[in-house]
Amino acid sequence: METKTKTVKEKKPVVEAVEETEEVKEAPMPDTAEFTGSYIKTVGRRKTSVAQVRMYKDGKGVITINGKKGSIYFPNEGLSIVSQPLKVTGHVRDFNFSIIVKGGGTTGQIEACRHGIARALLTLDPLMKEALKLNGFLTRDPRKKERKKPGFKGARKRPQWSKR
């Protein structure tokens, strides 16, 4: 009887060249010289979001939110919603805004910033009130999630009723 022998080829370890990745560059911080001088401070709110807005006069239209450019902090349509009061009143490039926003979700933060900017414009010029109020920018949206009640499954959902 013949015995067959198999030769086993050893697999060579595969060494891949790993390319060094470039460091991720953060967006440049807006120049701090743009945020000097006198400012008007207001607060905007929606749901659980609170936005502290500082409006600097003689600006270039720069909006900074939590230390980042507005277009980076709120991508897509977010920044256009925040700047709606400026478009309505025609002051898009007249002021710089430094905003600190906390709490809530993205939509709540966007609308809290919009509310704060509208209030800042109103303190600057009370004649803008009609245009801002007509578009609903001065109205605080107070809707919040209703709390869960004891004995219920949610805020309002009751346990199933049984006859016996």
The length of the chain, given as a count of residues:
164
Is 103 exposed, middle or buried (CB count within 10 Å of its CB: 0-12, 13-18, 19+)? middle
Question: How many percent of the chain have pLDDT more than 70?
Answer: 79
Q: Is 42's pLDDT higher than 60?
A: yes
Within 10 angstroms of residue 135's Cβ, the number of other Cβ atoms is 15
- Each residue of 101-160: pLDDT tens digit? 999 999 999 999 999 999 999 999 999 999 999 999 999 888 888 999 999 999 999 999
Instruction: Please tell me the chain's helix, strand, coil percentages from 3-state DSSP, rounded to the nearest 5.
Output: 30, 20, 55
pLDDT beyond 80 at 86? yes
**Domains observed in the chain:** 32-134 (3.30.230.10)
pTM comes to 0.74
Residue 62, number of CB atoms within 10 A of its CB = 17
Number of other residues whose CB lies within 10 A of the CB of residue 160: 6
Cα–Cα distance between 159 and 73 in angstroms, integer? 42
